[in-house]
Amino acid sequence: MTTQQWQDIVKEKQAEAAARIPQAWRLPPEVTASISENASTNVLDVPRQSGLLSLRQLDITENYDATALLEQIHCGTLTSLEVAEAFCIRAAIAQQVTHCLTETFFDRALERAKELDDYFRSTGQVRGPLHGLPISLKDCFNVQGIPSTVGLTSFVAHGPVQTNSAVVQILLELGAVLYVKTNVPQGMLAGESHNYIFGRTLNPHRSNLSAGGSSGGEGALIAMRGSILGVGTDIAGSIRIPAISNGTFALRPSIDRIPYGGQTDSGRNGLSGIKSCAGPLATSVRDLGLFTKAVIERDPWQFDSSAIFSTWRTVPAKPKLRLGFVLEDPHFPVLPPVLNTLTCAVTALKAAGHEVIDLEIPSIRDATLLAFRMFAMDPASTPFTHINASGEPKIPALSTTILPNESMPYEYVPHTLESLYDLNAQREAFRERFREVMRQNQIDAIIMPGLQGTAPPHDSMGWVPYTVLANVLDYPAVVIPYRKANKADDAKYLRDVMYRRLYLPDEIEGAPCSVQVLGRTMREEELLRDAATIAAALVSTDDKDNS
């Protein structure tokens, strides 16, 4: 396959994708002409200003989280069809200003919504707890009859897939309406959602900033409210990085609690190591619970042999929390906006009556090195063979997390069975040391950063120590959006330390900030309870600051 051939394949696929957006849903060229990765455009208000959405459609897409929207559908105030149409239009608008989508199947979604409405009218019943709710999917989730290319030109030839991923089948049986798949990095290998088929996803807050990855299309779409509940995957932070970058909520669940099977992947099967997991991005903590509870209660093992059977537990309320606080690893100092955000968060939580104690934990740098050595243990480098198969070049972001480099001057380990044993032993020892810290301090959860900074300029996400920690530990983790970068207010948090990422206050002004909350393995119920309590304390303080 020649270089020209891969470019022709990409051109044809792009034309197909563009043609699937109805003419009536297209923005005029003067709206999109000035939006690019080199500009600093905020496009969050484009759907409202476009004139393409009616007042009722604006209300549907802007004024409800998924839980509240389901209440409106299930009591008959809203129909599944009008909800689906509103989100299809808004997703189409989001695509034109952020390049957040890969596959769109709007006609199929509208037909599905009509069928759900007919069922509701004839029976007075709903099909399931997610009846009528539009849910977006990361590109890797297989939907029967829809392609899954995961950002690889060589995968375009695979065409539509024949079966549904396990989580897709469950969502359909729960009554959801599936309508779009969202953009990813080339092979899902980076923290920047950029590939040559569907382009680079732009951050809707500032188009010069990364939307994160590898579930970056989900993060951007939900920030644009072209979706209010989407599903991503996470092996080093790929659900949480986009949530942090775009200002949404997210949950990285424990491995295999949400079924992962039946996806398209660029990696090689057979090495367990640090496994990826599936989980939700949303606009509220309670919607993270809505998704997780609904899927778990459907008994995922019936759809995926690797899924862990675990009933959803009702946990008692706990209004006052004992929280551990981790500011940073000295090897990866957090930038001023993150230090400001975490300082404000701790102050707010203490003011709300929660106990916050400083934790001394094992080295996050060591956990990061361990993780990326484990990720590289495929001697065939299978994802790169898929890239090379088409002749397309590697995206620039792939070069930022290769050992050794300036931030991590360490080598990979040999591709030997001896090395694999050693890495697994190191991981288990690290997990045990961390468990002992949690046990000795008797904490409910850990408050910590999610990234070293906010969303950075494109192709500079680099190492992600604060998200990959949860993957090494297999701890569930929640991202809560909180505050925004403000160069005037953040200036007092600038320190004389060796930052591993450039601090560019003018380029990130107004970018979302957040806190990350870690819980205990298989304890999503407690984590989501505590995250809701934490979010309420932060929102209350934020409201006072803005009044």
- Residues making up the annotated binding site are 188, 214, 235-238
Q: Indicate if 238 belongs to the active site.
A: yes
Q: For strand 194-195 and strand 322-325, is the pairing parallel, antiparallel, or unpaired? A: unpaired
Residue 88 sits at φ, ψ, to 5 deg, of -65, -45
- CA proximity to 473, closest of 542, 512, 419, 527: 527
CA distances from 215 to 253, 455, 512 (A): 15, 14, 17
Q: DSSP assignment, residue 198?
A: T
Residues 6+ apart with CB under 8 A from 151: 139, 183, 184, 185, 186, 187, 188, 194, 195, 196, 197, 198
Annotated binding site for substrate: 188, 214, 235-238
Catalytic residue among 13, 138, 181, 484: 138
> Active-site residue 13, yes or no?
no
Q: Which of 154, 165, 238, 254 is catalytic?
A: 238
- Taking the C-alpha atoms of residue 516 and residue 538, their distance in angstroms, rounded to an integer, is 13
Q: Are 383 and 214 in contact (CB under 8 A)?
A: no
Residue 312, phi-psi category: left (phi > 0), alpha (psi -120 to 50), beta (remainder): beta
Answer yes or no: are the C-beta atoms of 538 and 513 closer than 8 Å: no
Strand stretches in 116-248, DSSP E: 134-138, 177-182, 194-195, 199-200, 229-234
Sequence-distant contacts of 49-56: CB under 8 A, at least 24 apart: 50/93, 52/24, 52/25, 52/27, 52/89, 52/93, 53/86, 53/89, 53/90, 53/93, 56/82, 56/86
**Paired strand residues for 230:** 136, 281
Active site residue 214: yes
- E-state strands within 167-237: 177-182, 194-195, 199-200, 229-234
Q: What are the phi and psi torsion angles at 268 (to 5°)?
A: -100, 130
Choosing from 40, 214, 227, 390, the catalytic residue is 214
Active site residues: 138, 214, 238
